[in-house]
Every structure is written in structure tokens, then in C-alpha cells.
Structure 1
């Protein structure tokens, strides 16, 4: 299993690098394609559009396919999309290639999280999913800074050529080391769609949208915040971004075991701590040392939200988890876009550069309220069914083909 998880993590590393490296290469991309910075910025939106649309569509198309084959196909499509970015001669072609590269993002993470949990078994699901996501966090520490430097020195297309090679390596690793897994769930599209509409799944997705939006309300504007408020020089922004990635990595290592031990409390604690941190950030950002420490904490606590929510949504989908697992990544990308939009509204309204942190705290607080509501509904339904000794849902296999987490019994 370690080599199988490593192959999945390498795929996550490639995806994380491709998603964020373009942010550091916008001037080079704009010059190379003969467009302005704002037009180059739309290429980021193109990728996000692909993620949101592709997660449910590709997952639906691949419902009946073996999970190992699906992972290879998704990573192959991702590699082709990035190769298209390297070879595309015009802005319009690059835009289309970014949409294609984004299509398998959420679907790969959704299928990969289920595969990791299946391989690990019920007692270590959180650790396995967190280890896969570790590739995404390491991408922010290593992949994005190195890719940015490579793109600045050799041309921006070189960064995406390297991403293509890493994606091909990940596909080969999955083919070699990931075992053939029994299909988790019914394999029927209608069942997957119905599971996606379960109240607890919907609440889990909404909690992710609002709970994680607070992170990107700040992260989207971290460069002007730390340079203008903390007095960190522009050349130090790369270090700040790397610190955020280090925090994400630490959060990934801690969130897995905590999720295995107590899933819902981990969700509550992460969101509550994130709310407090974002409020504190409005003060700590005025000093370079406290600002950098807060950025590490932002990455760690923010990522502490993602792993337990991923497991929660997977388990709440019962015997049809694939669509819900992929949709969770669409939810996180909506959080990225929504958080950046809300943070920008505060700045545009003249509320100052600390306003994204305050608004982000409000968003996360809404996410916490949704998560608490979902937990209360769970407890109420548990009390209702306890005298009956059995329910229809209690006979369903868990999201990963194993026993459900005790903190997330299906109502």
C-alpha cells in the first residue's frame, strides 16, 4: 500500500502544481501570448471552470468502470490537457487546454480518496486520505516555487511540460502499484445522483464551501497584505507562500489521525480554530514575524478542514459515494472562487487590506454553523431510530466498502 499511496500522492502533486504555478507566472504568460495581465488571469478561472464542471460529469461517465482504470484515465486526461497548454500557439487554445486540464481534477481526487480509504481499511481511512492529499500540500512547498523559477528562466511553457511529465509518471505508478479494487457502492448512476441529494451530503458540501472559503479570502490577497501591512519585501512573498504550503503539510499529517479518532469533532474544532485565527490575522498581519506565523497556521488549520469533510461526505453517501466524493472538490473550488470574490468586495468597498480576513472569519463561521446543524440532525435521527434496532440505511455498505465511521452513522 505505501507505493500505491505514493503514486496517488504524485498525481496530487502534479495537479496542485498545475493549479497554482500559473499564479506566479502571469506576467510571463501575458507577454508570451500577447495579452494583458487580466486576460492571463482568466486562465486561472478557466482551470477552475474545468474542475467544477468536470468533477460530476467525468464521475458520472465513469461510474461503472473499475476504480484503478478510472484513476489512470483521469490522470492521462490531465497530462494531455497540460501538454495542450505547452503546445497551444494562441491564447484561445491555451484557454481551452486549461479547461481540459481542470476537468479531471475533482474526479481524480474523488476516486483517489475512495481508493486510498479502501486500501487502508476502516480504522485508518483518515490517514490514508491525508497521505494522498499530502502530494497537494507538498506541491505548494516545492512544486509551485520551483515551477515558477523554472518558468521564469526557461519560459512559462517549461513549467507545464514538467507537470505533464510528472502526471505521466503518476499514471504509470498507479498502473503498477494500485491494486484492482472491488467497486465501492452500487455502480449505478441513479444511485450516485440520489446519494448526492441526501441532506447530510448536501450539508457536508455546503459546510465545505463556506468553511474553506475563509482560507481563500485571505490567501488570494496574501501578497499585498504581507507587503503593505507587514512590511515584507516583494521578494519575500515566495517564502510566505512556501510557509503556507508547509502549514498545509503539517495540517495534513495531523488531520488524518484526528479524523480517524473523532470525525465530527475534528470538523468542529478546525472550523472554530480557523474562525478565531482569521479574526486574529487582522492584527497579526501588521508584524512580519506574527504574519508569517499566522500564514503557517492558516495553511495547517485550513487543511485540517478538508480531510475530515472529505471523509464525512464519502461516508454520508452510503453505498453510492463516488459522485459525492468528487463533488466535494467542486465545493472546495467554489470556496476558492467565492472566498476570493468576497475578499475582493471588502477591499473594493474601501474596508482596507485586513477586511478579507474579517470577512473570511464570517464565512467560516457560517460553515461551522452548517456543520453543527448537520451534527444535531445526526444525533436527533440516531435517537429516533435507536428503539427500532435497525433501519434501512444501517444495512448499506460504507462509502469505501468498509464499516462506517462511528461519528458519521447514516441517519
Structure 2
């Protein structure tokens, strides 16, 4: 199990680096392609749009493919997409390559989580998901700053070439250690869509999309925020991203542990604290020492919410966890796509760069509201189920039958 999760985690690390490294090299990409920073920010939206489309579509179309050969094909497509970003001569082709790279990510992540959950002991699913999503954190703590360093010194195209190399290196490990598993379904692939009739699953996916929107909006533009508002030099950005990623690793394991203890309650509490930290960044971010501390805490909270959200989707999806997790990943990327546009609008046509922190805090509060509503629905459902069981036991007792 450990080697299987490690090989999958390494692929996730590469895919995540490809997704987030754009935040560290955004000015370089904009200059290299002769476009504005908000236009370069749309490269984030293109990748996200690929995941939004690819999540449900690719997952449904490949539902009858055995999991191991499926993830091998997904890795090869991701490698090709990132190589395309490295060699594309113009802005439009880079956008297209980013879209192709994103198409397979949600399905890979969904299949990886399904494998992790299937190998985990009962009651340890949150911890297993956290081990896999450690690749997300390493993509931030190592991949993004290293990719930023490469981009600053060798050019942003070298960054995308390096991103393509990571999953390619991981491929032999996947072939060796990931166990063969059957396809996600043996019935109608489109029949799995019935799982979305479950209101609890729809609330879980909505929570992912809205709950992450605020912090993602801030992260997309974290380089101009830290250099423009906090006064750090461009050479400090890789180290600041390293601090953010260190917080993300700590938050990942904290979130997995909390998810196994109290799933929805922990997500709600973490969202409340995250909103407060974003507001504190707006108030104190001009101070470098405060910005350093808040960067770490922001990374911690941004990734502490992920294991609980993913586990919630898996536990409410029933017989179709792969499709549900893929759609959930698409929900996250819908937030990323909107965040790229929203942040650009706030900077150019709205109240300005500094207000991004407050916008992020407000959006996170909206996510908190959804978490609280979902928790309230769960408690009502639990109370109704307990009442039904008690009523059934009382009826049997009064009829002279022992309760079950």
C-alpha cells in the first residue's frame, strides 16, 4: 500500500506542480508571450477549464477501462500537454496546451483516490486520502518554488519541460507498484450519473467549489501580492512559496486527522479560521514579518480543508466514487477558472490588488455557510433516522416482538 500510494503521490506532485507553478512565473510568462498579467492569469483558467470538462467527460467515457492501464494513459496525455506548453510558439497555443494538460487531471486524481480508499482500513480513509494528497502539498512546497527558480534562471519554457518530466519519471513506479484493479463500473457508465441524485453529494461538491474559491483567488495572484503589497523582491518569491508549501504539508496531515475525527464540523471550523486569516492578511500584509507568518498559516489552512472535502465526497458517493471525485475535482477547478478571471477583474477594473484578500475572505465565508447548512442537513437526517429506529422498536415491543 505504501509503495502504491507513493507512486501515485509522485504523479500527483507533478500534475500539481504544473497547475500551480504558473503563479510563481506569471510575470515571466506574460513578458515572454507579450501579454498582460491578467491575460497570463487566464492560463490558470485554461488548465482549470480542461479539468472542468475532463472530470465528468473523461471519467464517464473511461469507466469500463481497468484502473491501472487507465492511469498510464492519463499520465502520457499529461506529459504531452506540458511539453506542448514548453514548445508552443504563441499565447493561443500555450492556452490550448494548458487545456489539454488539465483534461486528464481530475480523472487521474479520482482514480488515485478510489485506489487509496480501497486499500485503506475502515475509519482510516481520511488518512489514506491525506497521504495521496501529500503530492498536492509537495507540488506547492517543492515543485512550485523549484519551478519558479527554473523559470527565473532558465526561462519559463524550461519550467514546463521539467513539469512534463516528473510524471514521466513516476511512470515506471506506477507500472511496478500500483495493483491491478477492475474498472470503475461493469454496468452502464452513464448509469453512474444517478449518484448525483443524492442531495448530500451535491452539497459536498458545492462545498468544494465555493469553499476553495476565496483562497484560490488569492493564490493565483500571490506573486504580485507579495511583491507589490508586502514589499518582497522577486528573488524572494520561491522562498515564500516554500513557506506556503511547508504550511500546506502540515495542513494536509492535520486535515486528514480532523476528517477522521469529525468530518463536516472540522471543515466548517477550518473555513472560519481561513476567512479570518485572509482578513488579517489584508490588515497586516504590508508588514514583512506578519506576511511571512500569514503565508505559512494560509498554506496550512488552504490544504487542511482538502482531505475532509474529498473524504466527504467519497463517503456520500456510494457505488460511484470515481465519477463523484472527478466531478468534485472539476468543481474545484471551476473555482480556479473563476478565480483567475475574478482576480484579474478586481485588479484592473475593481477596487485594486490589495482588496483581493478581503474578496477572498468574503468568498470563504460563503463556503462556511454551505458547510454549516450541510452539517445541519446531516444532523436532521441523523435525528430522523434515530427516531424511525426508535419508533420501529417501540412498535415491535408493543406487539410482543423483541426489538432488533
Name the TM-score, length of structure 2 as normaliser: 0.88
The RMSD of aligned alpha carbons is 2.5
2:333 is the counterpart of 1:333: yes
Q: How does 1:6-405 map to 2 (within 5 A)?
A: 6-26=6-26, 28-29=28-29, 40-182=40-182, 188-348=188-348, 351-389=351-389
Measured in 2, the distance between the counterparts of 1:241 and 1:179 equals 34
State whether residues 215 and 339 of structure 1, in contact with CA within 8 Å, keep that contact through their aligned partners in structure 2. Answer: no
Counterparts of 1:224 and 1:158, CA distance in 2:
22
Structure 1: gaps (5+ residues) = 391-411
Which deviates the most, 250-259 or 29-38?
29-38
Distance 1:272 1:91, change over 3 A: closer
Alignment check: 8 A CA contact 2:12 2:109 kept: yes
Distance in 1 (alpha carbons) for counterparts of 2:172 and 2:311? 27
Does the Cα contact within 8 Å between 2:45 and 2:341 map onto a contact in 1?
A: no
Task: Please list the CA deviations of residues 260-297 of structure 1 after superposition, one character each: whole Å capped at 9, or x if unmatched.
Answer: 12211221111111122222222221211111111111
Residues 342 and 147 (structure 1), Cα distance of their counterparts in 2 relative to 1, 3 Å cut: closer
- Name the structure 1 match of 2:395: none
Instruction: Quote the offset at 1:51 in angstroms.
Output: 1.2
Tell me how far apart the structure 1 counterparts of residues 262 and 95 of structure 2 sit (CA, whole Å). Answer: 43
Alpha-carbon distance between aligned partners in 2 of 1:153 and 1:275, rounded to the nearest angstrom: 35
Q: CA deviation at 1:186?
A: 6.3
Label 1:181 to 1:268 Cα distance change in 2 as closer, same or farther (>3 A). Answer: same
1:46 Cα deviation (Å)?
A: 2.1
Q: Is the 2:282–2:354 Cα contact (8 Å) retained in structure 1? A: yes
Cα distance change, pair 292–36 in 1 and its aligned pair in 2 (3 A):
closer
**Residues 252 and 303 in structure 2, CA contact (< 8 A), matched pair in contact too:** yes
The answer to whether the 8 A contact 1:13-1:139 is kept is yes
Q: 1:187 offset after TM fit, Å?
A: 5.2
Q: Distance in 1 between matches of 2:129 and 2:44?
A: 26
Residue equivalent to 2:401: none
Aligned residue pairs total: 390
Map Cα deviations across residues 33-81 of structure 1 (whole Å, 9 max, x no partner).
5666665444333222211111111101111222222222211211122
Q: Contact 1:12/1:133 (CA < 8 Å) preserved in 2? A: yes
Greater displacement, 101-110 / 184-193: 184-193
Counterpart Cα distance in 2 of 1:85 and 1:183: 31
**Counterparts of 1:337 and 1:145, CA distance in 2:** 22
Partners of 1:150 and 1:208 in 2: CA distance: 32
Contact 2:138 2:245 in 1 (8 A): yes
Which stretch shows the higher mean deviation, 297-306 or 16-25? 16-25
Shift of 1:196: 2.5
Q: How far apart, CA to CA, are the structure 2 residues paired with 1:140 and 1:84?
A: 22
Equivalents in 1 of 2:194, 2:232: separation in Å? 50
Larger radius of gyration between Structure 1 and Structure 2: 2
What is the deviation of 1:325?
Answer: 0.3
Within 2, Cα distance between the matches of 1:57 and 1:286?
44
Deviation at 1:364, TM superposition (A): 1.2
Distance 1:30 1:349 in 2: 19
Q: Is the 8 A contact 1:343 1:355 kept in 2?
A: no
2:82–2:161 contact (8 Å) kept in structure 1: yes
In structure 1, what is the Cα distance between the partners aligned to 2:39 and 2:375? 43
Contact 1:184–1:319 (Cα < 8 Å) also in 2: no
Partner Cα separation in structure 1 for residue 249 and residue 368 of structure 2: 23
- Residues 277 and 298 in structure 1, CA contact (< 8 A), matched pair in contact too: yes
Conserved 8 A contact 1:344-1:356: no
Between the aligned partners of 1:91 and 1:218, the Cα distance in structure 2 is 24
Deviations 1:130-152 (A, max 9, x none): 11111121112221222232234
Contact kept, 8 Å, 2:285 with 2:291, in 1: the verdict is: yes
Hey, what's the Cα distance between the residues in 1 that align with 2:366 and 2:358?
A: 13
- CA distance 1:378–1:42, change in 2 (3 Å): closer
Q: Which runs of 5+ in 2 are unaligned?
A: 391-404
Are residues 377 and 168 of structure 1, via their aligned partners in 2, closer, same or farther at CA, if it must alter by over 3 Å? same
* CA deviations over 1:313-359 (Å, ceiling 9, x no partner): 11111111111101111111122233444445544566454422222
> Is 2:267–2:309's contact at 8 Å kept on the other side of the alignment?
yes
Who is 2:393 aligned against? none
